[in-house]
Every structure is written in structure tokens, then in C-alpha cells.
């Protein structure tokens, strides 16, 4: 049986299981933001930071339990800047190596998307390592679309991989004006004209 859990406080048991999943996924080559398996102190600090956001409703962490054992997780966290407060990043989506093939990634991401929508977010973004084709395909199946990539940005030892950027629009509240790149409005500037270079004699 698969159950989802949304913790807001960090018990000792929670710290231990989060560290187990993060450590073992990275040790198995997982692309979740750590070049080497993280120490317990590092994952504890990360979890405390995520849960602080969760209590402010600026984020969430979801755990997937298989027969009572935490085997997968993921987070969404709201952007800090006031002008990006309706956007959040989905991150640290992973399944323990012993639990792959159970559809946990799909369950976790779908739950995060639903929860982010309930929190009033308009846009979700995420990054995928360029060689993580399975994850990219899953995100596309759930509605995310690539909007750009930074070539060979991700460092793994002497290897470099693309940082693929993906997004999912969740919708807008009534009355929101979508101005896009139209001229006018706060911060607008006129197009720059090409200028002639310095005169040469």
C-alpha cells in the first residue's frame, strides 16, 4: 500500500528516513542536487529549512510510504522575491533505489502540483539534469514543458550536463491582467535603436 504524508515538524524518525532516502539516491547516481552522498547534518539542515517554509505555507514536502516505509519524496518551495511570489520550484523529487518502478515519482509530483494549486500558485518550475531522460518524460506527461536549458552547467566530477528548465502553468485568479511583453506598464522602456559606431578618419 502507498500512502502520502505531509510533515510540518521534524521528528528524529523523520530526519533519519529523509537522510536515508537522500543519501542512498545520491550514492546510486541520482540527480538530486548533491555531487556526493550528503552527511546527516547536511540533510537535517535542509529538512529544517523546508519545514520552516512549510509552516509559513511557502512550501511543502510530501513523503510516499510503501507499506509504512518512506521510499520517495519531493518538495515545492515558493520564490522569495515579492515579484515572483506566485511561482514555486519543484525539487528533490526522488524514489529510493529499492522502490523504483512503483510509480512513486508520478504520485509525488502529481500531489505536489495539486497542493501548489491549492496554495494559490500560478506557475511551477523545475530543473532536470540533461541525461535524466526518464524524469523529463515523466514531467512532460504531467504537463510540464521545457522553456530553456543552460548547456553543460551541472558539474559531476569531470563531467558536465545540461540544466534543463521546465515549467507548468497552474492558472490565474480572476482579474489578473496578463501583460506579457507588451509595451507600457511599470518598468517599461522603449526599444533601443541601433547606434552608429564612432566616426573614423
What pLDDT, in 10s, does the model give residues 1-38? Answer: 999 999 999 999 999 999 999 999 999 988 898 989 99
Residue 168 has pLDDT above 90, yes or no: yes
**Strand pairing partners for 78?**
88
| pLDDT value at residue 200 | 66
- Find the helix packing angle between 104-118 and 133-141, rounded to 10°: 50
Indicate the pTM of the whole model: 0.90
Contact between 53 and 79 (Cβ < 8 Å): no
CA dist., res. 141 & res. 4, Å (int): 21
Extract the C-alpha cell encoding 131. Answer: 541525461
| pLDDT value at residue 197 | 66
| 2-169 homologous superfamily | Gcn5-related N-acetyltransferase (GNAT) (3.40.630.30)
Average pLDDT over residues 36-63: 97
Extract the C-alpha cell encoding 123. Answer: 506557475
| Sheet strand arrangement including 123-129 | 2-5, 59-66, 69-78, 87-95, 123-129, 159-169, 145-156
Amino acid at each position: 500500500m502507498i500512502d502520502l504524508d505531509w510533515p510540518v515538524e521534524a521528528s528524529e524518525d523523520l530526519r533519519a528516513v529523509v537522510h536515508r532516502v537522500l543519501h542512498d539516491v545520491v550514492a546510486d547516481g541520482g540527480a538530486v542536487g548533491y555531487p556526493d552522498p550528503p552527511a546527516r547534518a547536511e540533510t537535517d539542515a535542509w529538512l529544517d529549512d523546508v519545514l520552516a517554509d512549510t509552516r509559513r505555507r511557502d512550501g511543502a514536502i510530501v513523503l510516499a510510504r510503501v507499506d509504512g516505509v518512506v521510499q520517495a519524496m519531493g518538495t515545492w518551495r515558493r520564490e522569495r522575491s515579492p515579484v515572483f511570489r506566485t511561482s514555486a520550484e519543484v525539487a528533490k523529487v526522488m524514489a529510493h533505489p529499492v522502490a523504483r518502478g512503483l510509480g512513486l515519482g508520478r504520485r509525488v509530483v502529481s500531489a505536489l502540483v495539486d497542493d501548489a494549486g491549492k496554495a494559490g500558485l500560478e506557475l511551477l518550475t523545475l530543473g532536470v539534469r540533461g541525461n535524466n531522460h526518464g524524469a523529463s518524460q515523466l514531467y512532460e506527461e504531467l504537463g510540464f514543458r521545457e522553456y530553456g536549458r543552460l548547456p553543460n552547467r551541472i558539474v559531476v566530477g569531470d563531467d558536465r550536463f545540461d540544466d534543463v528548465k521546465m515549467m507548468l502553468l497552474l492558472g490565474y485568479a480572476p482579474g489578473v491582467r496578463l501583460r506579457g511583453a507588451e509595451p507600457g506598464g511599470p518598468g517599461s522602456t522603449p526599444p533601443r535603436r541601433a547606434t552608429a559606431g564612432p566616426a573614423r578618419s
